[in-house]
Structure 1
Amino acid sequence: MPTVSIITITYNAEQFLERTIQSLVAQQAIDYEYIIVDGASKDGTLDIVGNYEQYVTRWVSEPDKGLYDAMNKGLALATGKYVWFMNAGDELHDTQTLPNLLARIKATQADVYYSDALYVRNDGTTVGLRSKVTPHTLPQQLTWRDMALGMKVCHQAFVAKRAIAPDYPTNNLSADLDWEIRCLKAAKTIEYLPFVLCKYLVGGLSVQQHRRSLTDRFKVLVTHFGLMTTLWNHWRIIQRANRFSRK
């Protein structure tokens, strides 16, 4: 059983998939498996998978019911002790990222590991660390209650034991927020990593469907924090966003 299952979800991702795979190939580590779940792409995505097939432990290409349905398929295929989603266009931060993560897992065996994420544009240029370029400051002693004002940790900078990882709700564009909260609730030990785990490609599904994403986020937060608390916290979110934009 590998220590980490790294899972990439793709659909018509020929423009970005290779950078993700190359960031994995460059790692100085072998104690992992790499899984690609493709939603029956119609472009050259599968050609890229074929070019790197020696580095791919398992892959599947078939129609799905959306991003989070595909993520659930990835969870079902994973055999590693930990799961880590790195979607098409996202990258492991540098060549030592996975060795550093594996070293911490060997040392502490925490239930959840998390870090900051470096935002990058389509052309590879950097935007900045998520904790600096968004209102989401990153606590070094994270609990699920820290998610009351939204997603504190980028999904690609969040690694969880497979044993505590639930399935994603498939009808909610903020399902990754719900997944992180549920993982944190189940976790007994949560560890902040003092190194950046990933480069995150800005402009994902939730950005493309921003209004519905905000509505779905509200539903997730009501589920975990209650209606009145979530209404109050959304006023705080608006105030925080206004302060951040002025700054």
Structure 2
Amino acid sequence: MKISIITVCWNSATTIEKTIKSVQSQDYPDLEYIIVDGQSKDSTLEIIKKYSNVITKWVSEPDKGLYDAMNKGIDMATGDYIGIVNADDTFYDENTISNVVSFLKANNVEASIGDIVQHREDDQIVRRYSAKNWSPEKLKIGFMPAHPAIFFRKDLFNTLGNYSLDFKIAADYELIIRYFLKQQISWKYSGITTHKMLMGGVSSSGYESYKKVSEEIIKALRMNEIPFQAWRIKSRFIWKIFGFLKRK
């Protein structure tokens, strides 16, 4: 089973080497690694070129944003399944891909869902994000599994479409709605912790960001003709705060 891993980056010189090394450390041999760079102005390209023995394919050119770059990577991929590791994140350990492959071989599913941990810049883990109790119905109230912890069968993108460029920060949410709720693809929770993610990001930074994400979630549900209650999505910020205070 061949696995394609995609990293999208732009001016990521401070973090991308660590990301590449985490791919390099994987003990699974049949791995294709693709990097899509948005024509970085810093030393990102020099770092990419340094690891030509690790990176299978890479491109550096202007794009229309994060999800356009992801789509480019998907179109370049030739693996049976596709996974993502962001340019400021790493795989959890060197066995991550081999563990995922073992799970996929044992379970005939179109997608596997795992867990992630989030950490600060000093590597201290501050949150464990588990999908153990997640189900597609929770998409209707604004909750999805960690996007990078999902490994999708490649042919899903060919038949059901790539990330929609109609969304600025929630195209991953829309794709998951389309795949899991509308098309009802087969999936299973793996229980595997797949990634270590740096705290922060486009869609996880404060109330204004939550407000924008909520608007796009509502748009995604309407686009896919999924019945929902808007107030439950808009109130998800309160539950996030409650969960954070409870962890404190």
TM category, shorter: 0.7 to 0.9
2:70 alignment partner AA = M
Higher helix share: 1
Could you tell me the percent identity over the aligned residues?
32
1:14–1:45: 8 Å Cα contact kept in structure 2? yes
- Give the one of 143, 153, 161 matched to 2:145: 153
Q: Distance in 1 between matches of 2:47 and 2:171?
A: 28
Residue 181, structure 1, aligned to residue 177, structure 2: yes
Which consecutive residues of structure 1, in runs of 5 or more, have no partner in the other structure? 132-137
Q: Structure 2: which amino acid aligns with 1:47?
A: E
- CA separation of 1:58 and 1:215: change in aligned 2, threshold 3 A: same
Q: How far has the Cα of 1:226 moved from its partner?
A: 4.8
Alignment partner, residue 108 of structure 2? 109
Cα distance in 2 for residues equivalent to 1:218 and 1:161: 26
Asked if residue 64 in structure 1 is aligned to residue 63 in structure 2, the reply is yes
- Aligned mates of 1:242, 1:14 — CA distance in 2: 33
Residue type matched to 1:191 in 2?
Answer: K
In the superposition, the TM-score normalised over structure 2's length comes to: 0.87
Partner of 1:90: 89
Structure 1 residues 220, 52: closer, same or farther in 2, change over 3 A?
Answer: same
Paired with 2:126 and 2:23, the residues of 1 have a C-alpha distance of 22
After superposition, residues 166-245 of structure 1 pair within 5 angstroms as 166-172=161-167, 173-185=169-181, 186-207=183-204, 210=209, 211-224=211-224, 226=226, 229-234=228-233, 237-238=236-237, 240-241=239-240, 243-245=242-244
Deviation of 1:19 (Å): 1.1
* Matched residue type, 2:144: K
- For 1:51, the equivalent position in structure 2 comes to 50
What per-residue deviation string (whole Å, max 9, x for no partner) do you get for residues 130-164 of structure 1?
A: 24xxxxxx345x54322112232111111111111
Cα distance between partner residues in 1 of 2:244 and 2:50: 44
Cα distance change, pair 39–235 in 1 and its aligned pair in 2 (3 A): closer
- Report how many residues are paired: 238
Tell me, in whole angstroms, the C-alpha distance in 2 between the residues paired with 1:156 and 1:239: 24
Deviation at 1:15, TM superposition (A): 0.7
8 Å contact from structure 1 (residues 112, 159) kept in 2 = yes
- Answer yes or no: is the 8 Å Cα contact 2:142–2:214 preserved in 1: no
Q: Could you give the per-residue CA deviations for residues 86-129 of structure 1, whole angstroms, max 9, x where no partner exists? A: 11011111111111111112222311101111002233322120
Would the alpha carbon gap of residues 187 and 91 (structure 1) be closer, same or farther in structure 2, given more than 3 Å must change? farther
Instruction: For 1:21 and 1:245, locate their aligned partners in 2 and report how far apart those are by CA, in whole Å.
Output: 31
TM superposition shift of 1:239: 5.1
**What's the CA shift string for 1:3-57, capped at 9, x where partnerless?**
2110000000001101111111111111120000000000010011011111111
Matched residue, 1:20: 19
* Maintained 8 Å contact 2:140/2:233: no
Q: Which residue number in structure 1 is paired with residue 155 of structure 2?
A: 163
Distance 1:212 1:101 in 2: 33
Going from structure 1 to structure 2, the CA distance change for 1:175 and 1:76 (only over 3 Å counts) comes to same
CA RMSD between the two structures: 2.1
Contact 1:156–1:200 (8 Å) recurs in 2: no
The aligned amino acid for 1:182 is: R
Q: Confirm or deny: 8 A CA contact 1:113 1:160 kept in the other structure.
A: yes
